[in-house]
A and B are shown apart, each in its own frame.
Chain A
């Protein structure tokens, strides 16, 4: 795994798309890995009783997937400085969460990426990720 250097990234560059199939296993295992035991993230009956279509991703997982999306592209030496997300529609089990991203700016080694995470119902999470990349050479 190689890390992008600052000079390799310019505003306007597109990140490769990442599509995550939200199987019940993904939703449940991520909820538990983030220590979120709220029933709507692992118990289908309870989720439906509260008016949801099915179990859905918890916010800690959404944040984790946004982080992963950017580091998958940037490489292991990239350092994430911040993630700002506007939360939208729920990401239900059985749906697919697809991330797209665009570099909006770079100042020295500091890069800002706009990330969009969409599901079939619309925007699940959208926002910006700020990171630093090592210099060339």
Chain B
């Protein structure tokens, strides 16, 4: 979503005005007040003596209210997430108390989306300040408390030392295949080898296909090969990948064929029989994929 579209959405949500939510699941009650006072270490006797709730409890009464339709805040928050502003930190909480809520009454919240300001450069990164107001109404439909709440939705910086998001297509690593992926991480193309008869096989499996032995080891391949077959993938889109890309079957001099992407040259220049060598591409902080690039002449 562009800046203009975000602004337009914010304007539309603000124009909705105040949207009522579901009433709190329980009326204002002494047990919850007592529990809250104990947790805060607050020994003020006035509340329970007079049958009144501490004012800062206003929001507590509706925290676990069932969701009823959409709040006007939902769409702007989702749009900001979608635009990459995935970080969130609350910056302001301003509460006004018209009176203390009374034991026995039920509070109902109503939410107004008030403002979206940005993009602004902040210490956490570029972001938008989103502001909304909640009013809690008592049984008599008069406001008991109001709150202005402001959050900064920011685009997290990809600083040094920060984790990259995980590549969306993760291989299924198990007891039989872990050695292959460990090898890729340390720059080795490991091919499963039968410890009894010496046969190489790829992809790896639990038993030797020739002698049925389960004593398995691996051989480190030279990393050279020739392209046996390939496809150029244009469609459908693949998460984490830009199309088109080439998926090849590479024949190794060791005697097995390995599937992998052919990179480092335009798809139009890929041809069967071309000489390739392996290249290790980190996809995220944990996964390394062996890929194939043209052998320099």
Residue B3 at the A interface, CB < 8 A? Answer: no
Cα–Cα distance between A29 and B41 once the two chains are bound (Å): 11
Q: Contact between B39 and A29 (Cβ–Cβ < 8 Å)? A: yes
Interface size bucket, A side? 35 or more
Residue A111 at the B interface, CB < 8 A? Answer: no
- Name B85-119 residues within 8 Å CB distance of A: 89-97, 100
The 8 Å CB contact of B44, one of A34, A63, A68, A82, is A68
In angstroms, how far is the closest chain B Cβ from the Cβ of A7?
Answer: 21
Q: Contact between A35 and B40 (Cβ–Cβ < 8 Å)? A: no
User: A60, A64, A71 — which one has the most chain B CB atoms within 10 A of its CB?
Assistant: A64
The 8 Å CB contact of B95, one of A26, A33, A65, A82, is A82
- List the interface of chain B (C-beta within 8 A of A): 32, 35-36, 38-46, 54-57, 59-60, 63-64, 89-97, 100
Residue A87 at the B interface, CB < 8 A? Answer: yes
The 8 Å CB contact of B94, one of A1, A76, A77, A85, is A85
Contacting residues, chain B, for A33 (C-beta < 8 A): 32, 35-36, 38-40, 60
Q: Contact between B44 and A60 (Cβ–Cβ < 8 Å)? A: no
The 3 closest A-B pairs by CB, nearest first: A33-B39, A35-B63, A76-B46
Contacting residues, chain A, for B46 (C-beta < 8 A): 76-77
Cα–Cα distance between A85 and B178 once the two chains are bound (Å): 52
Q: Contact between A60 and B59 (Cβ–Cβ < 8 Å)? A: yes
Q: Contact between A84 and B39 (Cβ–Cβ < 8 Å)? A: no
- Name A67-116 residues within 8 Å CB distance of B: 67-68, 71-72, 76-77, 79-87
Contacting residues, chain A, for B91 (C-beta < 8 A): 86-87
In angstroms, how far is the closest chain A Cβ from the Cβ of B214?
Answer: 37
Contact with B along A10-26 (1 / 0, CB 8 A): 00000000001000001
Contacting residues, chain B, for A83 (C-beta < 8 A): 55-56, 93-95
